[in-house]
Amino acid sequence: MPFPPAVKSHHTAWVRTPGGRPHPVRYAVDGERLVCFADDGLAAVADGARVTMGIHEIAGGPLLAEFSASLHRLTPDQIDLNALAELLAHIPLGRTLAEVNARLDVQRAHRRVVELVA
């Protein structure tokens, strides 16, 4: 099932687990899948769990889209470097291409990255 159009033009979603409270996550669109880090507010969410995602206008504005998705952990080799770089675009990764690639490799190996499947 394709994601709503708002997903492709925003980078933050609020993810709510059953019985839980919403957690903001920065996400990237990788082809037909949506990926995000799940080692902070979503750390306790089990692989395969259903969550509800809400995409809002910037700074908590009106709800643009809401949908249900399954959370699935990605192995390091399943994580696209471009999507990972987009997830980390708000922090400096290095001054040279070698530094950036090294930092991305560390993030890929040590962070819990998940895809959200609608």
Using DSSP's 3-state secondary structure scheme, residue 77 falls into helix
Using DSSP's 3-state secondary structure scheme, residue 63 falls into strand
**What domains are defined for the chain?**
5-117 (2.30.110)
Residue 11: pLDDT band by 50, 70, 90 thresholds?
confident
Instruction: Number of helices (H) and strands (E) in the chain: give both, helices first.
Output: 2, 6
Q: What is the pLDDT of residues 54-73, one digit of tens each?
A: 988 776 678 888 999 999 99
Q: Which residues of 50-67 are buried (b: 16+ CB within 10 A; e: fewer)?
A: ebbbbbbeeeeeeeeeeb
Q: What is the pLDDT of residues 18-33, one digit of tens each?
A: 888 888 888 888 887 8
Strands 63-73 and 33-37: unpaired
4, HSE (Cβ side, Cα atoms, 13 Å): 15
Rg of the chain, C-alpha, whole Å: 14
Provide the token pair at 35: 């990926």
Q: What is the pLDDT of residues 31-49, one digit of tens each?
A: 878 899 998 888 889 999 9
